[in-house]
Amino acid sequence: MIEKSPWSQVKLDPELVPFIVLSAADVSQLTELALHAEDPVTWLTEELHKRGKRRKDIKEAYRATRTRDDAKRISSPWLWPQSTLPVKSQPWITEKSGHARFGRIKKSDLLTVITEEGTEEVFGTIEQLVELWSVD
């Protein structure tokens, strides 16, 4: 009799799927541990969700820290070394689009990014700006 793999029966939270990243060694280790559990499918599902949640929390904390720090730097033009501040797309924007964008902000208008293409992107708040743009 062939036992069904617990992996084929796992139902993952779609929100956590992008955050569940496993190496071949992880898969082997988790398979071994799951097979010794009372309910392998439940154990494996919970373990994968824990790992996904932990990675998601780390990414969210990183994003919050980065946007807060960028907002602070943009809001302090007297500390800028030049009359403009170079900016680039945030890593999560670059990851989605597949390429980085670059621009600059003038001390005279902190809510407008002048892109490398020469277009202007105007934002209502610095918080909105730093969701897309980071200090370079």
Query: Can you tell me which residue has the tokens 């980071």?
Result: 134
Contacts of 51 (CB under 8 A, 6+ apart): 19, 20, 22
Q: What is residue 3's predicted lDDT score, i.e. its pLDDT?
A: 65
Contact between 46 and 82 under an 8 Å Cβ cutoff? The reply is no
Q: For the chain, which ranges sit under pLDDT 70?
A: 1-3
Q: What is residue 104's predicted lDDT score, i.e. its pLDDT?
A: 97
Q: What is residue 5's predicted lDDT score, i.e. its pLDDT?
A: 86
Contact between 131 and 121 under an 8 Å Cβ cutoff? The reply is no
> Closest by alpha carbon to 132, among 96, 108, 107, 106?
96
Q: Structure pTM?
A: 0.74
Token pair belonging to 101? 């964008």
